[in-house]
Structure 1
Amino acid sequence: MLEGMHYQNAYVCDDLEAAIALFRGRGMTKEPIVIPVDQTVQTPEGPKRQKSRICFIWIGDLQYELIENEIDEVGIYGNCLSNGGPLRFHHICFRIDDWDDFRARVDDQEFPIAMERDLTGEDPNGLKFLYLDARKVFGHYLEYTWMPEAMWQQIRAM
């Protein structure tokens, strides 16, 4: 299942500030904002906590997400093995226009859901996301997101 608009490559790191520094002088034009994330996501085994510090860096039309893992009950970031460098490639992300249509087909495709969250219950203008475990085929996870256009424009402006 590869669909939607690919707009993000994501990396896990042990030191977020050091990872951000690697992008300075390599196309990063604005200083990124570090965002603390502490959330409960749904998994096939039930709710699990995932806590991290993240930032987003736009270079052209591609967003780089840097993730410093703090608590990972899902095991989705902790299983990203070291490649000897400060950044470890983790997933790509696609933006989906019609979430209901997409979500109705997820259970019929080959990749298992690793985690999922729907923030629209907390905020009608919130986003929805899920990760599919495509490591056996692609070597990484696939993330899919849906968000209102206003949120997308805000993310693009970060």
Structure 2
Amino acid sequence: MLTGHHFQNAYVTRNVDKAVAQFREQADVRSLSEIEVPVQLWTPQGEGQGVQKLAFVWVDDMQFELIQPISGDVLALYRDALPADDRLVFHHICNRVDDWAAFMARVEQQPYPVVLKGGTPGMLEFVYLDTREWLGHYVEYVWMGADRWKGMGGL
């Protein structure tokens, strides 16, 4: 299943600060925000909280999400993809959808397993599908209100 508006490429790393410095040196960064935050997540193994250090780097209309898993069993999806060193490793793309309920109904009908989901209803919701067998990577889908989209730097 591939639908929505592709706006993000996401990478995992052991060192978000180093990755941000590289983007500042080598890209025309339009906007940058960084946060270290605990998040409540669902995985097929259960629910739990994970702490991630994140950077959202906008270059033109493409967002690069840089993810450094800090703690929490629910972050295995990211931690398992980390390299031995500090480099970036591509992890997933993210597509924005307009109607979350209609989209989730379609998710129930497609063959790729849901491996992670979370968010805050009415503000931002996301789900990851394991499309690695087809595309070689995960696909994240997100819905967010217009104010949240603008607040994240979306055009």
Give the alignment's TM-score, normalised by structure 1.
Answer: 0.89
In 2, Cα distance between the equivalents of 1:143 and 1:105?
A: 14
Counting only pairs closer than 5 Å after superposition, residues 124-143 of structure 1 correspond to structure 2 as 124=122, 126-143=123-140
In 2, Cα distance between the equivalents of 1:72 and 1:135?
A: 23
Unaligned runs of 5+ in 1: none
In 2, Cα distance between the equivalents of 1:18 and 1:128?
A: 29
In 2, Cα distance between the equivalents of 1:80 and 1:99?
A: 28
Counting only pairs closer than 5 Å after superposition, residues 53-132 of structure 1 correspond to structure 2 as 53-74=53-74, 75-82=76-83, 86-120=87-121, 124=122, 126-132=123-129
Alpha-carbon offset, residue 48 of structure 1: 2.4
Kept in 2: contact 1:28–1:57 (CA 8 A): no
Alpha-carbon offset, residue 28 of structure 1: 3.5
Match of 1:155? Answer: 152
CA offsets 1:127-148 (integer angstroms, 9 cap, x no match): 0001111111111110000001
Alpha-carbon offset, residue 59 of structure 1: 0.5
Kept in 2: contact 1:127–1:146 (CA 8 A): yes
Alpha-carbon offset, residue 88 of structure 1: 0.5
In 2, Cα distance between the equivalents of 1:23 and 1:119?
A: 29
Alignment coverage as a number of residue pairs: 154
Unaligned runs of 5+ in 2: none
Q: 1:136 to 1:84 in 2, by over 3 A?
A: farther
Percent pairwise identity: 38
Match of 2:21? Answer: 21
Alpha-carbon offset, residue 151 of structure 1: 1.1
Kept in 2: contact 1:5–1:95 (CA 8 A): yes
Give the alignment's TM-score, normalised by structure 2.
Answer: 0.90
Alpha-carbon offset, residue 82 of structure 1: 2.4
